[in-house]
Amino acid sequence: MRVDTSLQREVDRPLTLKEISPKWFERLYGKRERLPFPLTPVWFKWYFELDSPAKCVIGEAHGYSSSYEQTCKECDRLGWSFGKSFFLRSHARLENDVNQFVLHWNTKHSK
């Protein structure tokens, strides 16, 4: 077991979605209390962005790049899962995607 100083603990603190993908965090957890209604302009905008590897939640985290499709299977899988959860308007699924992604990001992609 390793002994952390409080300074190290601060450095090692896991990132939250707010820090990983701030734009999508604001969309999903900001002022809006529910997901956009299907087939409204906002719904289409989010839907197309979630369907676009560089613009979706995962893409934002990777600096609006889709390169993770080739380099990280888990990010690629989660990207599709987010799109499906949004399409199904499932808050429970989205919450699950967010938790899995944040955990994955902190394990694999944050320094």
Binding site for Zn ion (CB under 5 A): 72, 74-75, 108
If the CB atoms of residues 35 and 78 are measured against Zn ion, the closer one turns out to be 78
| Cα–Cα separations (whole angstroms), residue 26 to 19, 22, 74, 77 | 11, 6, 23, 22
Nearer to Zn ion among residue 91 and residue 108 (C-beta) = 108
Q: Are 28 and 94 in contact (CB under 8 A)?
A: yes
The residue (of 45 and 108) whose beta carbon lies closer to Zn ion is 108
For residue 48, the minimal CB distance to Zn ion (Å) is 22
Closest contact distance (angstroms) between CB of 68 and Zn ion is 6
Residue 71 CA, chain-centre distance (Å), reads: 17
Q: Report in angstroms how near the CB of residue 98 gets to Zn ion at its nearest.
A: 14
- Output the CA–CA distances (angstroms, integers) from residue 7 to 4, 11, 14, in the order listed: 8, 7, 14
How many Cβ atoms from other residues are within 10 Å of residue 94's Cβ?
A: 19
Measured from the CB of residue 59, what is the shortest distance to Zn ion in angstroms? Answer: 12
